[in-house]
Amino acid sequence: MGCRTCAGQDPAAAWEAFPARVAELGGVVLEPEWLGALKAHRVRCVEGHEVTPCPADVQQGNGICRVCAHRVWDVFYVVVDDEAGRVKFGISSGDARPQLADHARHGYRRVVRLMTGLPGRLAVELDQVTLLVLRLVGMEPVQGLEHFDVAALPVVQAAVEEWLRHNDAA
């Protein structure tokens, strides 16, 4: 068996390398501890945007800030992992199939809501509003920032429906 650090399997080395790489890109890691190479970590970019890249993506050259990268973010989705009893919502750009396929590989196979082609920054706004509503009712994520117990699904759906009533986006 080889060296864990050389093989990229040492969490301590990865945690040390991630903030160093983020700093090289002008950002700062806000997450207080290592969550894993494939888990979203809170980061503030050089422009002040608070974003959640995965360390593996950053280390592979994908950058730290999706806002600064000028991604479209015109898709909003809600998916459910019925076996684990979790709901996840989020945003994507353009073709949502790769993102949904990735979530399906992690158990989130049921698509409850998929809104594509949202103009401007409406998908981002809807994502932020949904997070705010969940916080206001006292629901906390069970993983990352947008993974909740399935009991949050009615709240997520109500937040989306209320937002839609006030926006001519869907």
Q: What pLDDT digit, counting tens, does each position of 17-70 carry? A: 999 999 988 899 999 999 998 898 999 998 888 888 989 888 877 778 877 776
Q: What pLDDT digit, counting tens, does each position of 64-79 carry? A: 887 777 666 889 999 9
Beta-carbon count within 10 A of 45 CB: 21
Cα separation of 39 and 130, whole Å?
A: 21
- pTM equals 0.61
Cα separation of 37 and 45, whole Å?
A: 19
Cα separation of 50 and 64, whole Å?
A: 10
Taking every pair of C-alpha atoms in the chain, what is the biggest distance, in angstroms? 59
Decide: 103 and 89 in contact? Cβ < 8 Å: no
